[in-house]
Amino acid sequence: MKIKKGDTVLIISGKDRGRKGKVLEVLPKENRLLVGGINLRKKHEKPKKQGEKGQIVQMPGAISVSNIKLICPKCGKVTRVGYKILGKNKVKICKKCQQEIE
Ligand SMILES: [Zn+2]
């Protein structure tokens, strides 16, 4: 998978289309990921102690990799990942600005 935790991505489909968020978790087997603030689902949390109230927390739901695009951390544009050989290493580069991205 070309996207990793901590990357900023743009949502290109679904109800959060056009919004940006940071990748919280990548689920490579499912080709899905969790993005902060995107595709929020309400989850009821039971009280942990007696006397406490249960609460509703919002958790991001996994979205498909095909519904997002990577935003380059260097130039801030929506981009695709390319590769370049640097000595013995293959590094990821932004196809827009050609700069290395981690
Ligand atoms: Zn770039």
Query: Which chain residues have CB less than 5 Å from ligand 1, an ion?
Result: 72, 74-75, 94, 96-97
pTM: 0.81
* Average pLDDT score over residue span 73-100: 94
**Distance in Å, CA 39 to ligand 1 centroid:** 26
Lowest mean pLDDT among 11-25, 42-56, 84-98: 42-56
Between the CA of 58 and the centroid of ligand 1 the distance, in Å, is 32
- Answer whether 27's CB lies under 8 Å from 34's CB: yes
3-class SS at 71? strand
Phi, psi of 66 (to 5 degrees): -70, -10
Closest CA to 71 of 1, 26, 6: 6
pLDDT band at 16 (very low <50, low <70, confident <90, very high): very high
State the average pLDDT for the chain. 93
**43 alpha carbon to ligand 1 midpoint, in Å?**
37
Question: Mean pLDDT, to the nearest integer, of 54-62?
Answer: 91
Cα–Cα–Cα angle for 4, 58, 19, rounded to 5 degrees: 50
Question: Structure tokens of 7?
Answer: 């990357």
